[in-house]
Amino acid sequence: MKVAVIGCGTMGSGIAQVAATAGCNVKIYDTNLATLEKSGKNLEITLSKLVEKAKIDETEKDRIINHISYATSFAELSHSDLVIEAIVENLDIKRKLFSELENYVSPGTILASNTSSLSIASIAASCQKPERVIGIHFFNPAPLMQLVEVIPAIQTSDEVLEKTVQTITEWKKIVAIAKDTPGFIVNRVARPFYSEALRIYEEGKADFATIDWAMKTIGGFRMGPFELMDFIGNDVNYTVTETVFTAFYFDPRYKPSFTQKRLSEAGFLGRKSGRGYYNYSEDLPKAVEDNELGQYIVDRILVMLINEAAEAFFLNIASVKDIDNAMTKGVNYPKGLLAWADEKGISWCVEKIDELYNEYHEDRYRCSPILRKMNRESLTFYK
């Protein structure tokens, strides 16, 4: 299979590595020759590290490198079976690129976007053959993360969806099919992990370190929300939150936080700037290791996550299995949220979310109708 990847940043290079490892002939496209050369050197370094760790041998390293070539014009991509775009998250720029790209590839070429939250339907509408456009959303780092969200637009043909799922599965990735709605599965369902943690902080109930401690020690998450936002970058995380909030017509469930906005405006972007929620030039603050407070923090954030996952299922965004796979394989949650709901009890979920609504009377804390129905009928997500 001949694959083209547009954009040779961290994500584009990672996708190219995945495809080449699977035996595809890959062309990485960028208009900047120096950037392409840097991408090639970084790939060499990455693969050499895998050799050092005995993950692959020199023969495999050479095989992967030999499956990748570089291009600076769309004409060089004309024989591609699949093109995956991995450039800046800007809808207008992506639409312009797809419209132009279509003039160079064959009629049967599948055109895919790696966007994490933008409308696939809008991107497809810029093409003369919108039925061949689909979303293929990898997670960073692409070679390591198991999950790939596949997002058909309303224009996408069944044949293109089937071929895409088959291809990504052959690349040894776990596919979660998502409806073309803002944030798809992961970036939609994960919002409360950040937003509810920020809300708890803004209410003065706990500081950053204590909330992170609770979610890791009691909740079992690999990283706390503030630690993770600093790792991702506050500018990136805030932009996704703002995009999802706007795209959902300002639904209060996705309302951004002024705390994060101000940090982003101040240039406190996290690890990459040396300061975010934590100042990385100083010793990190100690958590208040109070189990009762920690359990309150975990329960509050967890029930909001479960409620969001349940709402995604209720609105046919994805199946129960795909939602849980997305959260465990895409962002390394300790359990699938809907499986977690069954474990905690649907009645527990309804009671906890209603407690929050009764305290705040904000639409942010409305309980998903599917949870109420399941509670009335004594149903579970998994039988």
2-177 and 185-377: same fold?
Answer: no
How far apart (Å, rounded) are the C-alpha atoms in residues 329 and 173? 10
**d(C-alpha 90, C-alpha 131), whole Å:** 21
Report d(CA 365, CA 351) in Å as an integer: 12
So what's the pLDDT on residue 79? 95
* Domain-wise residue ranges, the chain: 2-177, 185-377
Query: Tens digits of per-residue pLDDT, 229-271?
Result: 999 899 989 988 998 999 999 999 999 999 999 999 999 999 9
DSSP state of 180: S
Name 128's Cβ contacts closer than 8 Å, sequence gap at least 6. Answer: 102
Does the domain at 185-377 match CATH 1.10.1040.50? Answer given as: yes
Tally Cβ neighbours within 10 Å of residue 250.
9
Share of the chain above pLDDT 90, in %: 94
Span 169-187, pLDDT tens digits: 999 999 999 999 999 999 9
- Tell me what pLDDT residue 243 has: 87
Q: In a 3-state reduction of DSSP, which class is residue 124? A: helix
How far is the CA of 54 from the CAs of 51, 60, 66, 107, in angstroms?
Answer: 5, 11, 20, 42
pLDDT tens, 100-150?
999 999 999 999 999 988 999 999 999 999 999 999 999 989 999 999 999
- Span 310-345, pLDDT tens digits: 999 999 999 999 999 999 999 999 999 999 999 999
Q: Any idea which residues carry the catalytic annotation? A: 116, 137, 149, 187
Of 34-43, 229-238, 304-313, the range with the highest mean pLDDT is: 304-313
pLDDT at residue number 240: 87
- Indicate whether 383 pLDDT > 90: no
- Predicted pLDDT of residue 236: 87
Cα distances from 373 to residues 179, 349, 358, 370, in angstroms, run 23, 12, 19, 5
Average pLDDT over residues 54-81: 96
User: Which of 226, 190, 220, 192 has its CA nearest to residue 207?
Assistant: 226
Span 362-369, average pLDDT: 97
Provide the CATH number for the domain formed by 2-177 in this structure.
Answer: 3.40.50.720
**What pLDDT does 15 receive?**
97
- 205-216, pLDDT tens digit by residue? 999 999 999 999
Tell me what the pLDDT averaged over the chain comes to: 96
Distance from C-alpha of 180 to C-alpha of 157, rounded to nearest angstrom:
14
Q: Does residue 89 carry a pLDDT above 90?
A: no
Residue 3 scores a pLDDT above 90: yes
